[in-house]
Amino acid sequence: GENVEQHPSTLSVQEGDSAVIKCTYSDSASNYFPWYKQELGKRPQLIIDIRSNVGEKKDQRIAVTLNKTAKHFSLHITETQPEDSAVYFCAATQNPYNFNKFYFGSGTKLNVKP
Amino acid sequence: DVKVTQSSRYLVKRTGEKVFLECVQDMDHENMFWYRQDPGLGLRLIYFSYDVKMKEKGDIPEGYSVSREKKERFSLILESASTNQTSMYLCASNGQNYGYTFGSGTRLTVV
């Protein structure tokens, strides 16, 4: 099955700096890569996703890049703000096959210092 | 807006008890999932279901079972709770072409 590794496990940045979280996956058949943000005590929420036919996707201050050859994808947050502090999870799946079973990374705790 | 509702936010149970965790979604999604979330281990899939009465084991099914008698409801059952099942349990659902929607989670403590 798929194996998703995520790094770093914790990340501390100063407000206004950029943050980058990286994930690798093992199954070349995976074609959908979402990112979830989980604030303390709340449910994970989808913040951005990318499909394998696209190399990069942006939404305001967040972007995701995908390198299919190397089987890795990254989340980039620019101009970080204290409200970006949360745990971020990457995931990979074959969409719409395999019942959309997601394989998650182990999570990155991002702390943005004011 | 898709809603996935988990019946309890916090539960405390005794070792050996049978525990039921309930999850209900209101968007007619085919697929439903149960994950447990532990620090440093991320989200690990326990069981999932792709249709009524259908179930599939995930990565860590031992000590758990599930029930899906109706499309909107997916129950996780701990047959005999143990302390190593103390965790945060997250339910999720999705349709064919959408990402997951998660419930708010149930923090279970087994004493």
> By CA distance, what is A88's nearest residue in B?
B42
Checking if the pLDDT of B99 tops 80, the result is no
Q: What is the pLDDT of residue B94?
A: 84
- d(CA B34, CA B106) in angstroms, rounded, equals 11
Q: What is the pLDDT of residues B33-88, one digit of tens each?
A: 999 999 888 899 999 998 898 999 998 999 999 999 999 999 999 999 999 999 99
List Cα–Cα distances, B43 to A2, A103, A106, B53, in angstroms. 14, 8, 7, 24
**Residue B93, amino acid:** S
Q: What is the pLDDT of residues A40-72, one digit of tens each?
A: 888 899 999 998 888 999 999 999 999 999 999
* Mean predicted confidence (pLDDT) in A33-46: 91
Whether omega for the bond prior to residue A96 falls within 30 degrees of 0, making it cis, is yes
Q: What is the pLDDT of residues B44-56, one digit of tens each?
A: 999 999 889 899 9
- d(CA A82, CA A63) in angstroms, rounded, equals 18
- 47-66 in chain B: CB under 8 A from chain A: 48, 50, 56, 58-59
Checking if the pLDDT of B98 tops 70, the result is no
The minimal CB distance from A104 to the residues B42, B48, B105 is found for B42
Tokens of A31: 């074609």
Q: What is the pLDDT of residues A64-112, one digit of tens each?
A: 999 999 999 999 999 999 999 999 999 998 866 556 688 999 999 999 9
